[in-house]
Amino acid sequence: MNCEFTQAGKFMVCTRPGCKNRVPIFNPSLPATKYYATCFSTAPPRQTLRLGSLVADTFAKLGITESRYLAAKRKLGLAPKCGCNARKRWLDEVGKHFGMGV
């Protein structure tokens, strides 16, 4: 895991909890994102986004939620079954083959 730097005087310092890395600024025109160092943070690693969650979040932003989907199925006389959780798990497994959520 790499450090996340911010400028502090003549140095770039890591902002992650517990990491003491600091790197001298060798080019003032470079942004903090261009500085790299291995992070020694004591914080737990960030949760990675999985494909199933990404698809569900995208649908939710478009207004397609599980409750709306089930209501539409009821209106059409279809069985009010969603299968959303099984679909999410399947998409998570597919995503692992592409390096998502690993």
* Domain chopping of the chain, boundaries: 1-46, 51-96
pLDDT band at 99 (very low <50, low <70, confident <90, very high): confident
Q: Can you tell me the mean pLDDT for 77-90?
A: 89
76, pLDDT greater than 90: yes
What tokens were used for 83? 């299968």
Question: What's the mean per-residue pLDDT of the chain?
Answer: 87
Distance, in Å, from the CA atom of 66 to the CA atom of 71, rounded to the nearest integer, reads 9
Residue range 12-22: mean pLDDT, rounded: 91
Tell me phi and psi for residue 78, to 5 degrees.
-95, 160
**What is the rounded CA–CA span in Å between residue 88 and residue 68?**
17
pLDDT, mean of residues 23-39:
89
Average pLDDT over residues 75-89: 90
